[in-house]
Each structure stands twice: as structure tokens, then as C-alpha cells.
Amino acid sequence: MSDHTDLNILGVFSLLSILAVGGGTAVLPEMKALTVDVHHWLSDDQFRNIYGLGQLAPGPNMLMVIVIGYHVAGFVGAALAFVGFFAPASIIAWGTSRIWNHFEGSPWRLSVQRGFAPLVIGLMTAGTISIARTAITGWIPVVFAVVVFCVLYFRHRVNPALMILAAAIAGVFLLR
């Protein structure tokens, strides 16, 4: 079954790559559905924890797909998840950027942008909800989420990494 698992990893993350219109947050519900409910590679808690690991690393936070791949099928799985998630979208971006200016004058380009804007916000909200469903397991996590939201939303200059690290430390004391 190893070959099937490897191909499934590549297939799942390639699909997610193409679907990630609106970015990584927008694709979280689908990622969770595929990795937890369909393929049973992860439990809910593991999905939340691996997502949290992604917040601890710099750069694109969807690099956590590497951990999912590694968890399922070791280093080969890690490589396949990474290539699967990043290669299709990157190739599309590379190709499209070279022809984007040909559509400069088309009124439809503006329609696409304006139509997709609320769709993306809806998808990002749904992505936030999917993480909340696994992460909010009592009152203390609610307090964490609300405090982080208020600090980041109303005090833009606070580095999110500090909030994440503080939450990890507080979690050790309050969530064991």
C-alpha cells in the first residue's frame, strides 16, 4: 500500500494547491476534510497541532504540509507533500504572470477580481472556523483566541510571532 499512499499524498496536496484561490487559510477546510475525514491520516487534534507547528516556523505558514507528509510516509511523504502543494500553484503563477499584461485592458479582469474578493473573505472565514473547531475546546482557549485577536487587530505593530510563542508557553501552564 506504500505506493498508493505516496500517490495519494501527491494527489491530495496537488489538488489543494490548485484549489488555494484565496491562499492557505481558504484551503484549510478542504485540507482537513481530506487528511482527517477521507484518508484518516490525522486525528482532529493532530491536524490542529501540526497547523500550530506551522505558525512557529517563519515564511509561508502552509509549510506545515511537510509535517503532514512526513507523519504519513516519512521523508518521501514530506517531499511529496511539499512538491504537491507548492509546485502546481507556482507553475501557474509563473505562466500567468507572463501573460497577465495581455489582459490589461479587459474589463473582465476587473470583474474577476471584484467577484472573487468576497468569495475569498468567505473562504478565509471558513478556514478560521475549521481551525477554531479543533482548537477551541474549552474556555481557556477562547480567552487565548480573543486576547490574540484583540492585540493583533487593534495593535497592528505587535509581532504575531510573539503572541504565538506566548500562547505556547501559557498553554504549557494552563492547558495540561
Partner 1 sequence: MTEQPVAPATAPEKSPAGKVSLFEVFLTFLVIGAVSFGGGVVAYLRNSLVSQKKWLDEEEFLAALEISQALPGLNATNMSVIVGDRLRGPLGSIVGFVGMTLPGGLLILVLGIAYVSNNHNSYVNAALAGVGAASVGLLASVTLQIGHKQLEHLLDIAIVLVTIVMVSVFHISLVIVLLTVGPVAIFLYRPHKDRVHAADRTGLDKKPAD
Subset of residues 125 to 164 that bind partner 1, contact rule: CB under 8 A = 125-132, 134-137, 140-142, 144-153, 156, 159-161, 163-164
Give the HSE-up count for residue 134: Cα atoms under 13 Å, Cβ half-sphere.
Answer: 21
Q: Which of 6, 19, 36, 39 binds partner 1 (CB under 8 A)?
A: 19
The C-alpha atoms of residue 33 and residue 131 are separated, in whole angstroms, by 12
Instruction: Read off φ and ψ for residue 13, nearest 5 degrees.
Output: -75, -25
Sign for the CA dihedral angle at 62, 67, 72, 78 comes to positive
2 is an interface residue for partner 1 by CB under 8 A: no
Residues 52-111 within binding reach of partner 1 (CB under 8 A)? 52-64, 66-67, 70-71, 78, 82, 86, 88-90, 92-94, 96-98, 100-101, 104, 107-108, 110-111
**Three-state SS at 176:** coil
Min dist CB 125 to partner 1, Å, is 5
Between 7 and 164, name the residue whose CB sits nearer to partner 1.
164
